[in-house]
Structures are given as structure tokens and as C-alpha cells.
Amino acid sequence: MSVQHDAVQRADFDQFMVPNYAPAAFVPVRGLGSRVWDQSGRELIDFAGGIAVNVLGHCHPALVAALTEQANTLWHISNVFTNEPTLRLGKKLVEATFAERVFFCNSGAEANEAAFKLARRVAHDRFGPEKHEIIAATNSFHGRTLFTVSVGGQPKYSDGFGPKIQGITHVPYNDLDALKAAISDKTCAVVLEPIQGEGGVLPADKAYLEGARELCNAHNALLVFDEVQSGMGRTGELFAYMNYGVVPDILSSAKSLGGGFPIAAMLTTTDLAKHFSPGTHGTTYGGNPLACAVGEAVLDIVNTRQTLDGVKAKSEQFKTRLEALGKQYGLFEQVRGMGLLLGCVLNDAWKGKAKQVLDAATAEGLMILQAGPDVVRFAPSLVVEESDIDEGLARFERALSKLTAA
């Protein structure tokens, strides 16, 4: 039976909501696959993916079925108990990765919060309180809690909230010499994104991650990979670290893990996990049966060669067309990233105008993202249809044509 709802409009956001967001002028009301419809019935193609979240597009039948079945079975019982969907998903993540233990939570920030706390706890227990320093990369992004925003190397997100978490150092990304100069026996963890997402869709060099691994080993520090954006098939492997052959000690996952349903996970080893004994860390909703049932359905579809190889093929389709458009219209020369996390780096003439490109695309019925002011970001569904790629990029071309003709 359908429920009658009060009519609302975009203007209601400005009247009732905290103004920490500046949402688009239109309100999406329905999605299917890689298509979205707004309140007026206008159809858009979605290459934003809810910021790399809608890994299987909108309303994928397998996810709808998993959620519906679980919604009619068991919603929430807290971590005073465990539940079957949690155990199934945890087991499958362990079987598919380096990990031996999983901690479930609700967002990327919470997964990173758990990762950073675990790293400090391990160092405290094994070496004492002096070994607590964390090294992260400038222009990184690890979440919005006070701890995670302090580890993220972007002052625009961390300034203005009082004293920051201490013991955090930032070094340039992809600069192994800088990391080597900063690390010491007081370092408990080095935290890196294998691909910087918010920082501009910038992949790590293989030698950089290999060097970071060696430095961590030499200094008894843990290597933490933030794969909130790069994980769950986004790069053509289940997690980006698999492309590099560099194994972290701790890994955070979120975004695509639930395909749109809020869930996150911290993955680690048995030896490290034992430092989180009962009561040291927790969450009310983490491991919720609804979220884990959906997460299991996502993993079952994503972690197949068919899906992962499809990501690589679609990536080439995007890159080839985007590079041609960049040359034709003169906005960008470089298309970087991996799999279906791609960024068009605007040239000097268009630097700072990523939002302008995004708005022009929206006007043509295409949803895309920016990664800072200088990079236009694409993070579509991993199973986006080739016809939708063609149509979406045709709309992107119309946007570029109008921008350069203006």
C-alpha cells in the first residue's frame, strides 16, 4: 500500500535544514540503474554514484531483494548479540582479502576512527604511550570526526573547531623521501589512500606504497590503507591494494560496501585485532542485520571476475572518450585514476572551475562530481550499461561545447 506524504520542495531545505550542504536546485525522487528522475520528471544519467557509493546503480534487484527479505526478518538487536548477516558478510570479507578479523560500523569516518584508534592502541600496548604519532598525506581525506579530519591533510576541513588531535604529521603524497624523513620509532601508523579521492583522484605510485610498507616494517609502525572510496571493485580489483601487491595491516571500507545502504568495515589481522578487547571500542548500529544483508548481496555481485573485468573494460571506454573530449575542447589534458574512479584534471585556463563544469553537465542531464576545484570526477556504477556511458558522455560533450562557446 502506498503512503501519502506531505509535498516538499528544494526551498524547504533552506528553511528546515542545517546549512552545511549546498544541494543542487533539483530534487531526485527515483532512480533505476544509472538513470535518475527529479520532481519535474526530468531524467538524468548518474556518473556521480552518490560519491562512489552506488556501486551497482540505483535499486539493483538483488539489493532490493536482500533488504526486503531482511526487513521482514530482523532489523536491529545491538552488539549485545551477534546476527547471521554480520557473520556471513564478515566471513566473506575475510575469505576475499588479507584480513582475518572484521569490525563493522556505519560510515567511512567511523571505519577510519576505528583504524586510527586500533593503531594507537596496538602501539600503546606493545611499546608504551610515546609511540602514538601518525603520518598522513597532505590533501588526504579520512572523514569528518575530529580525529579523522585531523588526520586528513586539508586545513579547510579541520580548522575552526578548537585544538586538533595531537601527534599527527602530514607529508606530500607520492613523496617517499618525505615519508622517510618524517617516520621514526615514535610513529605508530602511516595512513594512506591508494588513490586520493577528494584530493584529486590521484593514484599512488607502486614504488611509493612499496617503500611505505618497508618503512613501516623497519619502524614497527602499522600501514593503514583508507579504501573508503577506492574499495569494493572500484579499481577493477576488489580493493585497490590488490593492484599494487602491497598488503596493509589495517584497511577501511565504506561507501560502495553497502551499495547505498550505510555500512562500513575495518579489516585487520588476528594479531592486531586482539588489542580491541571487549569494551575498548564499539558502536550501536555497527553490524546491523539490514546493512550486512545488503552488503553481502553487494559483495556477491562485485567480487566476481565478470564484474571486475567489466570495470576495467568500461574504464577504457571512459578514458578513451574523455581524453578525446579533453583535446577537442581544451579544458583538460590529463585523465587519471583507476577503474571507474576517474578524474579530468583541468588545465591552467580552467583551473578552479570544476564546479562550473559540473553545473554545465547538470544542465545537460548528467550528474558528475568534482574532486577539489581543479578536477572533474567520475564515479559511476560498476555495472553501468555501455549505452548509458555513450549517452552520458554525449551529454558531457554538449556541456563542454556550451562552456567553450560562451
Work out the average pLDDT over 284-289: 96
Instruction: Report the percent of the chain where pLDDT is more than 90.
Output: 95
Quick one: 128 and 108 in the same domain?
Answer: yes
Quick one: 141 and 279 in the same domain?
Answer: yes
Work out the average pLDDT over 246-251: 98
As a whole number of angstroms, the distance between CA 71 and CA 332 comes to 46
Work out the average pLDDT over 351-377: 96
pLDDT at 219 over 80: yes
Please state whether beta strands 222-226 and 187-192 pair in parallel, antiparallel, or not at all (unpaired): parallel
13 is in an annotated binding site: no
109 is in an annotated binding site: yes
Q: In what order do the strands lie in the sheet with 43-46?
A: 28-32, 35-38, 43-46, 366-367
Quick one: 117 and 187 in the same domain?
Answer: yes
Quick one: 282 and 400 in the same domain?
Answer: no
pLDDT at 111 over 80: yes
| Average pLDDT over all residues of the chain | 96
pLDDT at 364: 98
Work out the average pLDDT over 259-285: 97
pLDDT at 385 over 80: yes
148 is in an annotated binding site: no
Give me Rg for the CA atoms of the chain.
21
pLDDT at 98 over 80: yes
Catalytic residue among 47, 104, 116, 141: 141
Work out the average pLDDT over 29-58: 97
Q: What is the pLDDT of residues 149-164, one digit of tens each?
A: 999 988 998 999 999 8
pLDDT at 5: 85
Work out the average pLDDT over 298-311: 98
Quick one: 133 and 169 in the same domain?
Answer: yes
As a whole number of angstroms, the distance between CA 154 and CA 137 comes to 9
Task: Give the Cβ contact number of residue 295 at 10 Å.
Answer: 32
Q: Could you tell me which residues come within 8 angstroms of residue 129 by beta carbon, excluding any fewer than 6 positions away?
A: none
227 is in an annotated binding site: yes
Quick one: 91 and 213 in the same domain?
Answer: yes
Tell which of 256, 278, 303 closes a domain: 303
As a whole number of angstroms, the distance between CA 291 and CA 293 comes to 6
Residue 2 lies in a domain: no
249 is in an annotated binding site: no
177 is catalytic: no
Quick one: 137 and 285 in the same domain?
Answer: yes
First to last CA, the chain: 50
Tell which of 303, 323, 344 closes a domain: 303
88 is in an annotated binding site: no
pLDDT at 1 over 80: no
Work out the average pLDDT over 130-144: 96
As a whole number of angstroms, the distance between CA 329 and CA 162 comes to 45
As a whole number of angstroms, the distance between CA 134 and CA 120 comes to 9
pLDDT classification of 2: cutoffs 50, 70, 90: low
Work out the average pLDDT over 363-391: 97
pLDDT classification of 406: cutoffs 50, 70, 90: low
- Helix, strand, or coil (residue 104): strand
Quick one: 124 and 256 in the same domain?
Answer: yes
pLDDT classification of 10: cutoffs 50, 70, 90: very high
Q: Which run of H or E residues covers position 295?
A: helix 289-302
**Domain containing 259 — which CATH number?**
3.40.640.10
323 is in an annotated binding site: no
**Beta carbons of 195 and 225 less than 8 angstroms apart:** no
Catalytic residue among 104, 249, 255, 276: 255
Quick one: 310 and 294 in the same domain?
Answer: no
**Beta carbons of 287 and 82 less than 8 angstroms apart:** yes
255 is catalytic: yes
Quick one: 292 and 311 in the same domain?
Answer: no
pLDDT at 4 over 90: no
Tell which of 281, 303, 325 closes a domain: 303
**Domain containing 378 — which CATH number?**
3.90.1150.10
Burial of 42 (0-12, 13-18, 19+ CB in 10 A): exposed
pLDDT at 57: 98
226 is catalytic: yes
- pTM tops 0.85, yes or no: yes
385 is in an annotated binding site: no
Catalytic residue among 131, 147, 225, 226: 226
In which domain, by residue range, is 123 found?
A: 74-303
Residue 395 lies in a domain: yes
Widest Cα–Cα separation across the chain: 64
pLDDT at 3: 76
284 is in an annotated binding site: yes
Quick one: 168 and 155 in the same domain?
Answer: yes
Please state whether beta strands 375-378 and 369-370 pair in parallel, antiparallel, or not at all (unpaired): antiparallel
226 is in an annotated binding site: yes
Q: What is the pLDDT of residues 264-276, one digit of tens each?
A: 999 999 999 999 9
Number of domains in the chain: 2
Residue 3 lies in a domain: no
